[in-house]
Structure 1
Amino acid sequence: MLRRVVPWQRTGRYSKVIVGAWHRGHLAAIPARCFAVAATGQTGTGGQSSAPNSAAPKPSACAAEKDFTNAALAFEAKSRWELFRAWCVFQICAIGPIVRHCDTLYMYSVKVLGPRLTHLLLRKTFFEHFCAGESSQDILPKMRELQKYNVGGILDYAAEAKDGELPETVKPIDEEETVGAPLSSRSYDYESEALCDARAQIFRVAVRGVKDTIPDGFAAIKLSGLGNPVLLERMSTCLAEVCRLYKRLAHEDINPNENYYMIDRSFKIDLETFKTGWLKMFEGKSEDELKAMFDAMDDNHDGYISYLEWSSGVKLSEINEMVRGCKHQGRLFQAALNEEEVKLYRNMLKRVQGILDLAQELGVRVMIDAEWTDIQPAIDHITIFMQRIYNKGELPIVFNTYQTYLKGMPTRVQRDLDRSRREGWRFGAKLVRGAYMVSERQKASQRGLESPICETYEETEENFHQAIDCILAHGEDKTEASPGGAAAEVLVASHNRHSVERTIQKMTEMGVAQDRVGFGQLMGMADHLTYTLARYGYRSYKYVPYGPVDEVVPYLIRRTQENSSILGSPSVQEERQMLGRELLRRLRPIA
């Protein structure tokens, strides 16, 4: 069975100051021998491939040059109306005031024109450009069209919670009782649980939709839809404090406001250091009990525990019991989940496992989307927990998402690669630059904290490329018979031609098999990359969002705002010009 790699999620971009960095030369950086072009499947003149169902030509070490600027090839799947609509959308998205105030304009339109007319206008313009439909049945034509052109689909129910917006179903917290286990009085309304159950059913329908339309495609899920975002934030805070506890046990200096992904975890702790640190902070454990705890975490019995062993050995659901022995009721005590939260956490795990059980049964891979940093540690924790279960077979079922605009991300990618090999499961990942840049910087500024986002585009690009290189270098370990010895798989989710070209060049230099690497772009963007890569035999995917128009509006607004720089960048200007040329060619064909 031919293996297909993970598909993609979303990419965010940067400000006008650095927008010029997006436009990178031509294909000269890659030798022509890196590509192979078969003489079959040439583009027709009527916007359709002469053989759309034929197998795509396979790249090889010796080949003719591939051209990403061939408009007829890039847009052969689009009708004249779709070309015109795409050109108009790009024109509008290049207008700064409209992009900056699109959420306000939407609210004003609803008040003046009413929701029905507003959503009709959205449906016929931005929605139909960036989304495939409102239900799993509506999207069938789009998924089948992608399949005709050898493009995989990443099916995603795009209704989403707004970053920083607390659900109304969460009751206010009594400020006098915010301490941790077992005293916390935080209460969760079970109406939100019913909503999460309903969303779990929607995600299961999406998994079946992938199986029925593009069997080698991908389903994307958001964990913020399967559990209360406030609970995910509480879990993330708890995980961050458990990480800081590891440093405290080693007598390391602690910065309570340090970025979670930047915390140093490279050292190991021996038994005496562990006991001394623990007894300084906790009571109720004998030395024999502490030695038993240490030995249980010391998997390789070398007399030390690493952070990987520590994080695998300390269970989130057990923190409540652990902190009851705290000598000082500080941040860790306050962060511990209470009994109700542990119950809700387990309910969320059951929903996720229900989706993944179905995915495993049908052979559909599932991408766990990355979200905002207040809840991302919890998402990472649950995703790795699921990878331990579902990535031990022939193919990885669960793929994590890494946002490389976050500081310290290459280190985290390498840590998870090491974890997969040590624990014996297959590593699968999607790499994106990031999708919450604007809101993350605003929150950090409001809180007086250092931004978790890289300061410049160049830093993010370096992170992105380093992470790709780490995964490409994680080849098969022939001495390891377990799934952990398998080569890592990656989906490079990027609209940046330079990054795509660079990845292909690295694959050639390192001898990386094509079934380990995929490329993904958003529906409605970078068709010149998606369809050209597919035509030349590379694993190419479109991210296919769907959902009711009124529920998808937050996604459309965020997509427009987060991509405002790329939508006005030279790269997209080039794509807009290609759209214009192809539209004119269709309207005035040359005999």
Structure 2
Amino acid sequence: MSLPLRQLTRIRPPHGSCSLSLARSLIQTRSLATQAHNSSLDSVRPYKTRSTAELLNSLLVFQLCAMPKIVEASPTILEWAEKMKLTRPVYAVIKQTFFRHFCGGEDLAEVVPTMENFKSLKIGSILDLALEADVDAASLSGPAAQEQARKVAGMFKESIDIASKTPGSFIALKVTALVPPLILQRWSNTLVLLQAAFRKADRNGDGRLSLEEFLELSATFPHLRGDTASALFAATDRDKDGFIDWLDVTDTFSLYNSSASRSLIRPPIEPVTPDNQLISADDLDTTDLVIPDIDIVAQHARDLRVRILVDAEQTYFQPAIDDVGLNLCKKFNPPHHGPNEAGRRGPVLYNTYQLYLKDGYERLVLDVERAERNGYSFGVKIVRGAYMHAERERAEELGIPDPIQPTIEATHAAYNKAIDFLVNKISGFQSPDSNITVEGNIRPLSFVVASHNQNSVEHACQQMNQFNVPAGEGSVAFAQLMGMQDGTTFSLASKGYKVFKYIPYGPIGVTIPYLQRRALENSDVLAGGGGIVQDRKAILNELKHRLGVGRSAGGFTGPLRSKVA
């Protein structure tokens, strides 16, 4: 059945039963190994156990990714295929190439063999339901949004059930799959407007507002006046020093506190455009309906000891996504200084920070302080970012400042600065019981280095060594996408680090936007001579090895080829 291109970003549950032949193919062609490899040769031959057919397919995928014009033309090609009634054969080609390389299967039953093979090499799994939602998707409200949230929450709970079979696993959670994207955008716009009003009212420039200054917010939000504003100020000023800062404000004005947030409802900004709409009473009524289902997913994860990585998404959603993610951390992560059992488990919820954004590092530091102030353990995932092209095009179209770092060097510097900050913070926390060795996270702050950049991975290992953070403890973990930087993943695992593979899954039609982002990202990396070049080189070396042309294993170089920590 042909799937209209416009529906590709809509959220639909996986369907279909497990194909025995495909499952058998997954077992045969995606087998990573049956035991950990200890020799140096094995540790730098990540493709050693893959079939030659799969190696050739992977090489083809990387070669196609290296052709930017083909990648950029992919949406047009798909649209053309739809018009020509050729969707089915085109999808068949995609499934045997890009999907086979980057995805674990069409449903969870197909994903299990992939997880088991990663587990055999002491590589963990992050199950990622490959949903790509944007403002082009229909905006639901009221009971319709609630029904959709329950449907998607059930899908995430199913992911958690499967992930729980392998202790220490993660799932990835997309807030845009649970809360209508347009509501998230409107709430983000409202928070941005609130921050601008906050800065304007901050006469002394010290990041704090007195009650008198707080009342000046009424110039932007008319409901913030009189007794209502005074009561909100008193509730926000928790330490009763007569001042509130931005952390206090965003803890109060939240989708999780709609009674306070309703005081931010105001007339629209004229002229009204799709990009400047603000939160409405109907929007907050809808979030009141869907948030319980989000909480059910988080509770299910905590009960089954599965961790959740809350994905970062586009900047026009991100303030609202942070709001939801940070409230989940507050509600479901163990206390910062709780009982030994809670402390040993570490955080359940992890919020994600994109360091290619100019404000990424600042927000990370602020939210770590937020967790310390509120007394809950905190999980962090740091990434460079995956929406650069779309973000820059949107900024240019709207005439707003580019949110992306000016250079790739600036992004690298911000990323490594985040590693330094987090490792230093972690090193200050002691294990809840230093006499007990516990598998998994044991400190109130933990983070995942989600990166394909070899320099950043090595930098994190060096920092862990310098600050005496054990490789296998789990307070610092590493993650790479399935089909990318396998050499890095295998090298980390062989040295005892906690390392994970993102395993995207979902029906081929739903995963198309995800695959397009992967192809575009790989195109950039290949053009820049990054980590994917190493993947391609490792594949070629493996093929040469099989042909007896050469015995150079290639692969990961630098500190990870010898013991780092």
Range class of TM-score, shorter chain: 0.7 to 0.9
Partner of 2:245: 306
Partner of 1:426: 377
Partner of 2:545: 585
* 1:226 aligned onto 2:178: yes
Amino acid at match of 1:106: L
Given the superposition, is the C-alpha separation of residues 284 and 144 from structure 1 closer, same or farther in structure 2, using an over 3 Å criterion? Answer: closer
* 1:523 aligned onto 2:474: no
Native 8 Å contact 2:354 2:382 kept in 1: yes
Q: Distance in 1 between matches of 2:109 and 2:546?
A: 30
Partner of 1:391: 333
Native 8 Å contact 1:71 1:581 kept in 2: no
Q: Distance in 2 between matches of 1:362 and 1:283?
A: 43
Unaligned runs of 5+ in 1: 1-45, 58-65, 171-187, 253-264
Q: Any residues of structure 2 matched to 1:63-462 within 5 Å, and which?
A: 73-112=45-84, 114-161=86-133, 163-167=134-138, 188=141, 190-212=143-165, 214-251=166-203, 267-275=207-215, 282=222, 285-286=225-226, 292-316=231-255, 317-319=258-260, 321-323=262-264, 337-392=279-334, 393-394=342-343, 395-462=346-413
User: Match of 2:320, SS?
Assistant: helix
Aligned identity (percent) is 30
* 1:502 aligned onto 2:453: no
Q: TM-score, normalised by structure 2?
A: 0.80
Amino acid at match of 2:541: R
The Cα of 1:191 is off from its aligned counterpart by: 4.3
Q: TM-score, normalised by structure 1?
A: 0.77
Amino acid at match of 2:114: K
Native 8 Å contact 1:153 1:217 kept in 2: yes
* Structure 1 range deviating more: 140-149 or 83-92: 83-92
Q: Distance in 2 between matches of 1:249 and 1:339?
A: 26
User: Match of 1:434, SS?
Assistant: coil
User: Match of 2:164, SS?
Assistant: helix
Partner of 2:504: 545
Q: Distance in 1 between matches of 2:443 and 2:45?
A: 36
Amino acid at match of 1:165: D
Given the superposition, is the C-alpha separation of residues 191 and 284 from structure 1 closer, same or farther in structure 2, using an over 3 Å criterion? Answer: closer
Q: Distance in 2 between matches of 1:337 and 1:95?
A: 42
Given the superposition, is the C-alpha separation of residues 273 and 209 from structure 1 closer, same or farther in structure 2, using an over 3 Å criterion? Answer: same
Q: Distance in 2 between matches of 1:509 and 1:476?
A: 10
Q: Distance in 1 between matches of 2:221 and 2:285?
A: 27
Q: Distance in 2 between matches of 1:329 and 1:76?
A: 60
Aligned partner of 2:524 among 565, 570, 573: 565
1:253-311 CA distance string (max 9 Å, x none): xxxxxxxxxxxx96122344335665997578557x75554333222233322211222
Amino acid at match of 2:400: L
* 1:466 aligned onto 2:423: no
Taking only aligned residues, the RMSD between alpha carbons, in angstroms, comes to 3.2
The Cα of 1:345 is off from its aligned counterpart by: 0.8
Native 8 Å contact 1:71 1:579 kept in 2: no
Native 8 Å contact 1:70 1:528 kept in 2: no
Native 8 Å contact 1:271 1:294 kept in 2: yes
Native 8 Å contact 1:468 1:503 kept in 2: yes
Aligned length: 496
The Cα of 1:577 is off from its aligned counterpart by: 1.9
The Cα of 1:197 is off from its aligned counterpart by: 2.4
* Structure 1 range deviating more: 399-408 or 571-580: 571-580
Q: Distance in 1 between matches of 2:143 and 2:546?
A: 55
Q: Distance in 2 between matches of 1:201 and 1:505?
A: 41
Native 8 Å contact 1:438 1:562 kept in 2: no
Partner of 1:22: none
User: Match of 1:156, SS?
Assistant: strand
Partner of 2:11: none
Native 8 Å contact 1:266 1:307 kept in 2: no
Q: Distance in 1 between matches of 2:103 and 2:534?
A: 22
The Cα of 1:508 is off from its aligned counterpart by: 1.4
Q: Relative contact order (alpha carbons < 8 A, sep ≥ 6): 1 or 2 greater? A: 1
Native 8 Å contact 2:145 2:286 kept in 1: no
Given the superposition, is the C-alpha separation of residues 479 and 98 from structure 1 closer, same or farther in structure 2, using an over 3 Å criterion? Answer: closer
Given the superposition, is the C-alpha separation of residues 119 and 166 from structure 1 closer, same or farther in structure 2, using an over 3 Å criterion? Answer: closer
Given the superposition, is the C-alpha separation of residues 206 and 277 from structure 1 closer, same or farther in structure 2, using an over 3 Å criterion? Answer: closer
Amino acid at match of 2:363: R
The Cα of 1:123 is off from its aligned counterpart by: 1.1
Q: Distance in 2 between matches of 1:49 and 1:403?
A: 30
Native 8 Å contact 2:376 2:444 kept in 1: no
1:93-146 CA distance string (max 9 Å, x none): 112221221222233334446222222111111101000000010111100000
User: Match of 1:475, SS?
Assistant: helix
Partner of 1:556: 515
Aligned partner of 2:535 among 575, 580, 583: 575
